[in-house]
Amino acid sequence: MITVIQVKTAGQMRAFAKFPLRLYKNCPYYVPAIYADERGICDPKKNPMLADSEIRCFLAYREGRAVGRVAAILQKTYNRISGRKCMRFSRFDCENDPEAAAALLGAVEAFARERGMDTVHGPWDFNDQGREGMLTEGFGVRATYATNYNYEYYPALISALGYAPESEWVEYDFAIPEEPDKRIANVARYIQKKLELTELADTMPMKKLIARYGHESLAMVNEAYSSLDCYVPVSGKVVDHILKQFATAINPRYFSALADKSGRVIAMGVVLPSLCAPLQKSGGRMGPLTLLRLAKAISRPKELEMVLIAVLPEYQKLGVNAVMMARIINHIIEDGIEHVESNPELVGNLAVQSQWSTLERRIVKRRKTFVKQI
């Protein structure tokens, strides 16, 4: 018999955060989230995303043993902008146990009805900077830091409960060229001169750039991504939280931010050093040794993750992406980077996928969200 409890105590929150570490123990493809962040997701003092959201976390037990977990997120900003009445499910992890999966999603659906919602969908996080989507292909490939890993049986558990596919993403593995493409370099120089663009990453240290242009840059991303499936714009303390993470993790050699002649940020590309190996070794815990490993991974990376590329709508299809990519690719080649992988890109978002079209690539993973009317 399955028993589901709502997480309320500190001990239950620890059990919630630790559950996937046990479920994926010895799995080489799973990359844990930062443990302290997961423990604090229900605390408004630690989680700025709760300014416009509600969350409930649930654990499923069979005979006193935890067999699954899930979080229910009511994202009020998304519902207000979209006009929908949706409850998100997130952090769904479960043994191959249909009864446990049904009980967990049933708890989410009950919370949704309690709040007057008519739809449950996920896995979605609070916003697009979190982990979203359920892996449907690529189970033998290591996750990136920004993505969920799940076992192959997950989609069947969800589908059996009446959830249908919603959004779909692909993830790419990129071939690194031996030398820069002269044609792209020439196009980049021409576009930069013609449009009178300034590469901000060449004009000041990264911390100063983030302090001066960070809020404007993320507002630009909000505008560029506004039409994407279930996109949630970020603002206020959430922006501060993201910029703090960026300030820690960005290596300026794999970053680009372009300003027009008036000084307005019109495009940004972020490729981050992979943090996967240090976090896998530590289980997501931030001890002194892990911090040293992370610092090394950031300053002298061997693997990179393409996080985002955003261009204001009026500058799209003008070749602005070539300016950013020329800079980043040159540094990738110069630094002897061994592996570059994308984070999820929506299948229907051809504009973003075309931004990377100058590189040879292959699809290595697919993931989906699922939706159910209740």
Report how far residue 245's alpha carbon sits from residue 209's, in angstroms, rounded to the nearest whole number: 14
pLDDT of residue 337: 94
pLDDT of residue 227: 77
Does residue 34 register a pLDDT over 70? yes
Q: State the DSSP string of 8-51.
A: -SHHHHHHHHHHHHHHTTT-TT--PPPHHHHHTTT-TTT-GGGG
pLDDT of residue 292: 92
Q: What is the mean pLDDT of residues 247-269?
A: 93
Instruction: List 198's β-bridge partners, or say none.
Output: 259
What is residue 315's DSSP assignment? G
Does residue 305 register a pLDDT over 80? yes
* pLDDT band at residue 288 under the 50/70/90 scheme: very high
Report how far residue 267's alpha carbon sits from residue 311's, in angstroms, rounded to the nearest whole number: 4
Q: What percent of the chain has pLDDT over 90?
A: 78
pLDDT of residue 352: 62
Report how far residue 193's alpha carbon sits from residue 286's, in angstroms, rounded to the nearest whole number: 44
Note whether 366 and 170 are within 8 A (CB). Answer: yes
Instruction: Please name the residue that has the structure tokens 């940020």.
Output: 265
pLDDT of residue 353: 58
CA angle 331, 332, 338 (to 5 degrees): 155
Q: What is the mean pLDDT of residues 299-307?
A: 93
pLDDT in tens, 60-118: 999 999 999 999 999 999 999 999 999 999 999 999 999 999 999 999 999 999 999 99
Q: Write out the two tokens for 143.
A: 């996750």
Does residue 349 register a pLDDT over 80? no
pLDDT of residue 236: 84
Which of 13-17, 207-211, 322-326 ranks highest by mean pLDDT? 13-17
* pLDDT band at residue 355 under the 50/70/90 scheme: low
Does residue 169 register a pLDDT over 80? yes
**Structural domains of the chain sorted by starting position, each given as residue range(s) with its CATH number in brackets:** 2-169 (3.40.630.30), 182-358 (3.40.630.30)
What is the pTM for the complete model shown?
0.91
pLDDT in tens, 202-239: 999 988 999 999 999 999 999 988 877 778 888 888 88
Q: What is the mean pLDDT of residues 24-45?
A: 95
CB 79: neighbour CB atoms within 10 A? 20
Phi, psi of 33 (to 5 degrees): -75, 170
pLDDT of residue 45: 92
Contacts of residue 300, Cβ cutoff 8 Å, sequence gap at least 6: none
Q: What is the mean pLDDT of residues 254-261?
A: 95
pLDDT of residue 350: 64
